[in-house]
Amino acid sequence: MTSFDTARLGRIGDWMQTYIDARRLAGASVLIAQGGKEVYYHQCGLRDVARRAAWERDTVARIYSMTKPVTSVALMMLAERGLFHLDAPLSEFIPAFSDMHCLLDGATAIDQVERCATPTLHHLLTHTAGLSYPFNPGVLGQEMADQDIVFRADQGTLAHMCDRVAALPLAFAPGKRWEYSVAIDILGRVVEVISGKTLEQFFIEEIFDPLGMNETRFSVPTTARDRFAACYTPLAGDAFSVGKVDRAPETLRLIDDPAESPFLNAQMQSGGGGLVGTIDDYLKFTEMMRTGGAGLIGPKTLSFMMRNHLEGDIASMGPSSFAEQPMEGMGFGLGGAVLLDSGRARSAGHVGDFSWGGMASTFFWVDPVADLSAIFFTQLIPSSAYPARPQLKALVHGAMT
């Protein structure tokens, strides 16, 4: 098994402190486990600048798109019970998606469409369904922004928002390209339809309780509200914009006060980005994936999820969207990215690393070669603001012997 040089691991804390000292991040923590044993933990900075509250190990953070692997696991738990197959059309579970249209190539308006097939569950799991996000470029992304279709914590019910998405055309015919999207939010609704439970009920009963993830929820637990972090942005405009935007004079501009956040009482159960939780809770989830399912899901199903499901890397699928990971040298499985070629990805790692991140700059990866789980928690939007993720991977791999 790969071992670590402890002195080199210590560089991680120094690196984190440079981000704090430069006011790039308010606070952060890193947790690394190998073979089920903790090999490194460090925290620094503040979870709330205005209140001078320290970032602690039990700080509750918004994990945003690190919710996606949880939802993907939930769906695959149901799949391995024989309740459906991945080539089933989405319309079998949400009838509003029965009559689908997609934008014409080169469309400049939302009504320039043609008929197309209904995307399958596999299309949604792999972000090849033709769906999008409001921060993505293009006609569909702009229309979603105009209609405020985001699956935010304060945006009502999951069922209603899915029907709003179904009323829009797809950005392209299913399977034609890769585009980061609200697909996993919609699959959260599929989990509800198939299981007969709300998404949070399913998560709690089938995943969180068995794993002991007692502080991971869609709403901040009442017992953890005094540990909920503030969220910041260095941008002057919309923090969720991932295009070229102006930087603010204040590099840590508050955008979600933990005392007033919609995550205190979430209406929306967003399977694509709605969970909050602690770093130790998320380690329980990544360790479940690393060790083969912990009895919740079969090890062969997890292996199937953590392999590349695209014809090549993400870049070969012609994406124009934002992604939480590099696109060159990186494939996509079910719920996360799969490293195919670290050279092309220009990021240290082993072939087969399974990873994803969240919009507030959180990040995780599971390394099957080094038998490793690594998690980075902080609260800064957008995640593209700084290159913290490849820097952290370089630090961890630089410490391997």
Decide if 17 contacts 11 (C-beta within 8 A).
no
Tokens of 74: 């939930």
The span from the CA of 103 to the CA of 175, in Å, is 14
- Domain range list for the chain: 6-75+198-398, 81-195
* Extended beta strands in 49-115, E state: 53-54, 61-62, 101-103, 113-115
Total Cβ atoms within 10 A of residue 115: 10
The span from the CA of 294 to the CA of 319, in Å, is 35
Q: How far, CA to CA in Å, does 229 sit from each of 309, 378, 384?
A: 35, 9, 20
Which is the CATH superfamily of the domain at 6-75+198-398? DD-peptidase/beta-lactamase superfamily (3.40.710.10)
Q: What is the pLDDT along the chain (401 residues), one digit of tens a residue?
A: 689 999 999 999 999 999 999 999 999 999 999 999 999 999 999 999 999 999 999 999 999 999 999 999 999 999 999 999 999 999 999 999 999 999 999 999 999 999 999 999 999 999 999 999 999 999 999 999 999 999 999 999 999 999 999 999 999 999 999 999 999 999 999 999 999 999 999 999 999 999 999 999 999 999 999 999 999 999 987 777 655 557 778 999 999 999 999 999 999 999 999 999 999 999 999 999 999 999 999 999 999 999 999 999 999 998 777 777 779 999 999 999 999 999 999 989 999 999 999 999 999 999 999 999 999 999 999 999 999 999 999 999 999 99
